[in-house]
Amino acid sequence: MKRIFKIFAVVVIMTTLSVQSAMAGNDERRGTAGCSELLINPWTRSTGWGGVNISSVRGLDAMFNNVAGLAFVNNIEVSYANTMLYGGKNGLSSGATINTFGLGVRIFESGVLGVYVMSLGFGDIPVTTYDSPDPGVNGTFSPSYMNINVAYAHSFTNTIHGGVVFKLATETTADVSGSGFAIDAGIQYVTGENDELKFGLSLKNWGPAMSFGGPGHSLTMINDAGNSFTVESRAAEMELPTCLNIGLSYDFLFEKWDQRLTIAAAFTSNAFLRDNYTLGLEYALLNLVQLRCGYVFQPGLWTDAATARNGICAGASVDVPLHKKDSDSKTGLSIDYSYQSASPLRGTHSIGASFRF
């Protein structure tokens, strides 16, 4: 098993080094990547403090931030999250909404298999053309994005955990579609007398370039002789939004009322955006209530922000145990809420629920 971990660690490190030259927050490449929805965290718990929990994320949320945390699923975990992106229907005329469903199952003593599907819809958008620019005359169209993720995480020892995610992203409209394939990999290291110190590293969205195709890329015209002919344009390829995440956290534990205060920091090196720096706090009481907040910062935030996903974020969770007090079962229900500022757009609200048994 140690040999397997060494091989896995070497692969992750070599892959990280191979893309390091692209990890410079390059402004010249901003906006040239495809499948930008792969950078949107759909899970409510982790967005409550800006996704800073690279090192401490647990359960299905880990399949986005750092898949190594999926290894902490007890037996079975089912989660759902609904996100009103940038204010949802009140923030955008199209009403952008994300729905996410996930399932995690322990299949081996040290291994967990996870699956989640994220669907991003924009509502009905009016069709306008060169000859008919007025909205509402030509009907509407409804683009949709979908990400399908299959993950496996393994606990190599009590302190070292790792995992990998295979993901398929599709983007479709009525006459144009595109798809991309990517791989995530992550490692978490836990140490300390009470596992209070944690370190995490994850590489996300590593894969081949994607392109669009479909009848929307063709145009039928009529020449002066009255003959019709069709011209088809070839779409350029786009790289995927590869990024490298590094996180560190420390738990301050207090025996009275089972209190915990976690301080976390994370750095995200983006290949096609500016780099992000995140700080976050999470407070837990009686293993029932968690309050969290965070701040996502990037160079030029106050003068020339490169993305709306920055600034203050906050969230809360309530865990309801569904087992007897003296039972060894960990069956429980969790209700989560988060808010993320998105200047100059309206903030993003998310609500989710998880059932564990």
Q: What is the reported pLDDT for 92?
A: 46
Task: Report d(CA 279, CA 298) in Å as an integer.
Answer: 12
DSSP 3-state of 239: coil
Which among 84, 75, 142 is positioned nearest to 114, based on CA atoms?
75
Task: Report d(CA 72, CA 116) in Å as an integer.
Answer: 16
Provide the residue ranges of all domains of the chain, joining segments of one domain with +: 2-356
Q: Say if CB 35 and CB 189 are below 8 A apart.
A: no
Q: What is the reported pLDDT for 339?
A: 95
Residue 33, Cβ neighbours under 10 Å: how many?
23
Residue 256, Cβ neighbours under 10 Å: how many?
5
Task: Report d(CA 264, CA 49) in Å as an integer.
Answer: 9
Q: Say if CB 262 and CB 250 are below 8 A apart.
A: yes
Task: Report d(CA 142, CA 282) in Å as an integer.
Answer: 38
Please name the residue that has the structure tokens 């971990």. Answer: 5
Task: Report d(CA 43, CA 257) in Å as an integer.
Answer: 28
Tell me the β-bridge partners of 147.
118, 169
Q: Say if CB 171 and CB 143 are below 8 A apart.
A: yes
Task: Report d(CA 57, CA 119) in Å as an integer.
Answer: 22
Residues in the chain: 357
| DSSP state, residue 182 | E
Q: What is the reported pLDDT for 32?
A: 78
- Tell me the Cα Rg of the chain: 22
Q: What is the reported pLDDT for 3?
A: 54
**Domain 2-356 -> CATH class:** mainly beta
pTM above 0.75, yes or no: yes
Non-local CB neighbours of 158 within 8 Å, separated by 6+ positions: 190
Structure tokens at 330: 């960990």
Question: Which stretches of the chain drop beneath a pLDDT of 50?
Answer: 4, 7, 11, 14, 17-23, 90-94
Q: What is the reported pLDDT for 91?
A: 45
